[in-house]
Every structure is written in C-alpha cells, then in structure tokens.
Amino acid sequence: MQIVKTAIAAALATLAFSASAMTPIQDAELSTVSGQDGVSIAANLNIKIDSFVYTDTDALDANGMGGGSVSFNGIKVNGLIAANIDILSKNSFLAAAGAAGVTNPGTFYNPATGGDVVQIAIPQSVVADGHYLNVSVDAIKMGNSAASFGSVAMNQIDMRGTTVWIFAH
C-alpha cells in the first residue's frame, strides 16, 4: 500500500511541475499583452548611520589655525515614504515640467531631441498620512572631544508632491 501512495504522490508532483513550467513567448504574442504602466514603491525607513565626519585637511598656519573636524553621531532617518515610477514621453514630460513651473526645460533637457523620461513622484495622498520622515542627530562633536554641542532633529518632513525626473542626454 505504501508503494502505491508513493507512486501516486510522485505522479501528482510530476503533473504539478509540468503544469507550472515556463514557456517562451514570441514577439507577436507579446505585442498583444497589455498591463498597467508604472510601478509603485512604499517603504518604512529605519536608517541608522553611526557618524558623519567632516575633516578640514588644511595645514596649520603660523597662528595654529587650520585643520580640525566635526562629527555628527547617531544619525537616524525613519518614517514612511511612497513613490510612483512612470515613463513619460517627451510631450508628457514637457507638459508635466511646465505644470511644475519649469519655464525653460532647454537648460537641462533638449525639447527637440530629448527622449522618454523616468518620473518618480511622491503622491499627495499616502496610505499612512501624517507619518512623515524624521531625521535626528544624537550628538555633534568637534575633533576627538567627548563633549557635544547638542543634538539636531528635523521632524515631520513632508515630501508629498515631490517629483524627480531622470533622463539620458
């Protein structure tokens, strides 16, 4: 009886594998496929950076001035962020840029020869409205000193409505 059960299980497994096998699709078939354009990305950020250090490498002058460093320690970024990613045609991009107040896109994009543009947009309305980004720095120190000038926090950073365009040139 055990042999029969094993044989049946093996046969069913073989059928399942053959039923789910991937098969190539030809270009003609692919051209009939349609879908929704764009991609949405959402993230709950929890970024921690031990320190950011700026060092002035100037040599000491006759008065002993020059050089030194300042460090920002215990940097944290947290909060929710969402973005939509779309591909815009040249005409759609120029219309979107104009609506955003760009009066002369020719300073960074060639309206005559420019191609498609990737648009990354943070929507006006997000799932968790009110949970914006927060950035904090636990301590600000000079050189190798253990003393801190204090801390810094930027709270409820609202990036809704922000749009970023990416294109080749």
Chain segment 113-138, per-residue pLDDT in tens: 989 999 888 877 765 556 778 899 99
Q: Range with the lowest mean pLDDT among 3-12, 83-92, 110-119, 139-148? A: 3-12
- Predicted pLDDT of residue 16: 47
88 burial (CB, 10 Å; 0-12 / 13-18 / 19+) is middle
At 46, phi and psi to the nearest 5? -145, 75
**Which pair of structure tokens corresponds to residue 22?**
């991937």
**CB of 51 within 8 A of CB of 75?**
yes
pLDDT more than 90, % of the chain: 20
Q: Range with the lowest mean pLDDT among 5-9, 26-30, 150-154? A: 5-9
Q: Looking at the predicted structure, is the pLDDT value of residue 4 above 50?
A: no
In order of 26, 67, 142, 169, the CA distances from 54 in angstroms are 56, 10, 10, 33
**CB of 141 within 8 A of CB of 67?**
no
